[in-house]
Every structure is written in structure tokens, then in C-alpha cells.
Amino acid sequence: MDFAFTAQDDAFRTEAREWLASHADGSQDRRSWERTLGKAGWIGLGWPEPGYGNRTATLTQQVAWAEEYARSPAPPRSGHIGENLLAPTLLAHGTDDQKSRFLPPIAAGEELWCQGYSEPGAGSDLAGVRTTAVREPQGSYYRVTGQKIWTSLAHEADWCFVLARTEPGSRRHHGLSFLLLPMDQPGCVEVRPIRQMTGTSDFNEVFFDGARARVEHVVGGEGDGWRVAMSLLGFERGVSTLAQQIGFAQELGRVVRTAVETGAVRDPVVRDRLVRQWAELRTMRWNSLRTLGSSQEPGAPSVAKLLWSGWHQRLGELAMQVRGAQAAVGPSDWTPSTPYELDPFQHLFLFSRADTIYGGSDQIQRTIIAERVLGLPREPKG
């Protein structure tokens, strides 16, 4: 596409920057912040339909908002799964009743969502889903039983969209349905946080033991879950990637400043790595702009994932290198209540180890490019 910011885009950017400057101070809890965003209409900018309490914006204006948000002290979003994944799926496949029930609370920041896809035996190979949903004899509800894993923000979510097997004996992508399920079901839904190397728990295990989902909350109809689930994965576009790169640039800037302060920049190998990181980040930005909004390049999301995940891991390693021996020392002494704390560079290094795994591992992305773009023989399935 011919990408350029217009005068209207610049005015929109200014409005976004000024609003964020007057409302975002970094101290808000994430749930109340979602409500603040919703009250001002900033949730749902990318939805093709207005009327749910959301503003609408052009693709370039969405980029402007995302970039200004990344530059602001606003907290990380809790509502992006509902806003950017579920909402477009409902707009494409949902009934009018489903849209009128679920889109306004998402736009208002009142209901948060998580994604029930991956399972212990069905991560990269999503068609191996074993979670079942059995319709009750009276016919108004499904009973969902099974386990999901690596469920981001499940500990905060009010609802979960779940890919489950509704046809007994079905295999692979047949017999699956896409259900909307409330998380507040004591005794039927259990969320167990997964402690990471960083000491935080952003991901969770979720266990369903007869949890109830209404029949009218099946999106796309019973048995059509695979089509709906794949459609959802296709809604992720380059807007979020461009905003992510603003954060990457800020991290790189801190690494460069530290290299100057510690004297590591005098090492020609370190200097070469710093320049390479800068050049690769600029390349990622122009590639994202080039493919923004394009539906003609089926491998573009996989290429983007490969680029940024490896880049971010290398930045974490470089952050440790420029710190020298101090990189192995925590910012505070060990205590029984806080076994260890991490400074920002240590957190970057440890968390980025997962970048090449979550959201589709590097191996999976290369397989997608090989099969769907290059036309190479499909990988044998066991």
C-alpha cells in the first residue's frame, strides 16, 4: 500500500498524544485503565463498525494511536485480546445477538477476555484439541471439560473463547466449536498461574470441569470452530507490530546509553552489534509499513514474527554484555519473601527467551513460510 500520514492523521495523533498526557500517569491498575479508555471511546478503533461505544479510525490513524500509546506512561493493556481478536471475529461470524451482547462491554473496558486454544498436547498443532463440550439433555448449555495452557491474562479475564470438541469421536480440525464461556464458575473453572523465570505469572493453566457455556454463545455454529478459530488468527495485523517497535527502540536506547556509561562501546564487537540492532530495527519498521493492511502476502505475519522475536532475544543478550559482571547481580539483597528481584535489563534478557516460542515458535513460522509461500512439500504429520 502507499503509506503516508495525512494532515488528518497528524491531527488525530495530536489528539491522542494530548489525551494520553492528561490521563495516563502509570499508576492506574489495568482494569480501571481499560474503563478509562473505554469511556473516551479509544477501544475498538480498528473495528469496521461503529455504534458499540467505540470510535473508528483509519489504518494510519490506528498506527498513530498505537505509536503514541507506546510512547506514553500508560500501563500495558488487559483488554487487547477482546478488542483485537474476539471482536473482529464476532463482527465477521457472530450473530446480531452475540454482537450486541459482547461488543459494548469490550468497548467500555468492562469485560476482559482470554483465549482458550493451546493445550498440553495441542500447542503448535492446534488441531489436536482434546477439550470436550457436551450438550446438556435440556439443550440450553454445553458442559466443557478439559485443560488449556499458556492462557495469557486468564487470572484477570471475565470470559474465555474456547476451542472445544463438540462431536464425539471426531479428529483433527473436524467436530470443533468456538464457544464463549464465563470464567466466574467456582468449582468448574480453575486458573493456576505459571511462574516464569522473571518471577511474574502472565500465563496460566486453566482447568474446565463441567463449566457451562450457553448454546447461543457458539460462534459460527456447532462444528465450524476450526474455520472461526483460523479466521481469528488472521485478524492480527501490523498495527500492533509497529507499536511494539516503539518499545523496542526505547529499550535499544537504554542499552546504547549503558554501553557508553560502562565503556563497553569502545569494544568494536559491541559497537558493531549495537549498530546492527539499530539497522535491523529500522528494517523491521519499513517492512511493517510495506505490508500494513495487505492481504496479498500470506507469509508476512510469519516473517514479521521471525524478525522481531530473534531481534529481541539478541537485544536481551546485548543488554547483559554491556553491563559486564554487574549483570549477574540483582538490584536488592535476597530475602525469604522476595527470593530475587530483577532490574529492567535482567527482566528483558530472561523474558525474551520466550519470544521465539509463544505466538508460534520459530520452527512453526518457518514451516508456514515453506509450505504456504514457497510451495515446498508439506511436513508429514504423525
Residues paired with residue 191 on neighbouring β-strands, in sequence order: 206
Q: C-alpha distances in angstroms, 117 versus 128, 177, 215?
A: 10, 11, 19
- The residue with cell 470464567 is 183
236: annotated active-site residue? yes
Closest CA to 253 of 278, 234, 232, 271: 278
In one-letter notation, the amino acid at residue 252 is: L
Q: How far apart are CA 183 and CA 111, in angstroms?
A: 11
Q: Is 299 exposed, middle or buried (0-12, 13-18, 19+ CB in 10 A)?
A: middle
Rounded-to-integer distance, Cα 319 and Cα 290, Å: 29
Q: How far is CA 92 from CA 100, 155, 229, in A?
A: 13, 28, 12
- Strand 189-194 and strand 176-182: pairing? unpaired
Task: Exactly one of 15, 110, 190, 236 is catalytic; name it.
Answer: 236
Active-site residue list: 236
